[in-house]
Amino acid sequence: MNIVIFGANGPTGRLLTRQALDAGHAVTAVTRHAAAFPVAGDALRIAEADVHDANAVSHALSGQDAVLSTLGVPYGRKPITVYSEGVGNIISAMTAHGVKRLAVVSSSATDPAERGRDTGGGFFFERVLKPMITAMGGTLYADMLRMEQLVRASDLDWTIVRPSGLFVTDTVTDYRVAEDFIAARYTSRTDLADFLLRQATEREYIGKAAAVATLAEQPTVLQLIRSEAFQSARK
């Protein structure tokens, strides 16, 4: 299968690219910094493009069967538009090229209704850490929500993937998936990449939001804070 990955040079995007190549897919990795992309493979094409550039996005999508987006930017106080504008360009290009399958990474903190649910993390996590992370990512989550609305309004075969606090595991674990919400705090990037790759060929979560959670391994609170503060938004 021909798969294009947007945000391929982020922490999850690199894992996803490697997994897709190992699974035998032909991969187009889209990144703004092609020279810095560390993954290699005979079935890999690296496309240097900015998702704000509609023509570049359209060119990268030519000949593809499925689109996987791990777009991400760091938290910031300034308005963020990479999710809504970038995925808006992706949706337009997919429609023009007749590509139907789309899976995008969002967050368990995107939907205010889901954000307020208790994940079972205890007083410190629920009352201190989670509100702090939500406040830090206010502009980011607002744009993720705009992205989700665009995806839901499209005529594509879409899936919205909602991980929780991101951390790293060496291998794929026996992770959990549920529609919309899981009462869990963490998601391994390796597990997230595995679930995203499955969406290229599976249809169970078409037209749905899927929550992904890792239970077999857990980061420390300090590791989570570091991840959320410095790179979790860089999917």
Residue 42 is part of a domain; what is its CATH number? 3.40.50.720
Residue 219 resides in a domain: yes
Mean pLDDT of the chain, nearest integer: 86
- Nearest C-alpha neighbor of 179 from the set 217, 210, 145, 153: 210
Residue 131 resides in a domain: yes
Verdict on whether the full-model pTM lies above 0.75? yes
- Nearest C-alpha neighbor of 72 from the set 183, 235, 204, 201: 235
Neighbours of 186 (CB within 10 A): 23
Question: What pLDDT, in 10s, does the model give residues 90-101?
Answer: 999 999 999 999
Residue 235 resides in a domain: no
Residue 36 resides in a domain: yes
Contact assessment for residue 192 and residue 212, using Cβ atoms and an 8 Å cutoff: yes
- Distance, CA of 134 to CA of 116 (rounded, Å): 10
Residue 80 resides in a domain: yes
Residue 79 resides in a domain: yes
Q: Which domain holds residue 207?
A: 2-230
Q: How confident is the model at residue 114 (pLDDT cuts 50, 70, 90)?
A: low
- Nearest C-alpha neighbor of 99 from the set 86, 90, 89: 90
Q: How confident is the model at residue 79 (pLDDT cuts 50, 70, 90)?
A: confident
Look at the alpha carbons of 158, 234, 75, 35 in this order and tell me if their dihedral is positive or negative: negative
Q: How confident is the model at residue 141 (pLDDT cuts 50, 70, 90)?
A: confident
Q: State yes or no: pLDDT of 117 exceeds 90.
A: no
Residue 116 resides in a domain: yes
Least confident of 18-22, 105-109, 181-185, 202-206: 181-185
Answer with the residue of higher pLDDT: 58 or 222. Answer: 58
Q: Domain count for the chain, please give it.
A: 1
Residue 89 resides in a domain: yes
Question: What pLDDT, in 10s, does the model give residues 150-172?
Answer: 999 999 999 999 998 888 899 99
One DSSP character per residue, 159-215 reads: EEEEE-EEE--SS----EEEES--S-SEEEHHHHHHHHHHHTT--TTTTEEEEEE--
Question: Tokens 């993937």 appear where?
Answer: 161
Q: State yes or no: pLDDT of 14 exceeds 60.
A: yes
Contact assessment for residue 155 and residue 91, using Cβ atoms and an 8 Å cutoff: no
Q: State yes or no: pLDDT of 174 exceeds 50.
A: yes
pLDDT at 229: 52
Amino acid at site 36: A
pLDDT at 232: 42
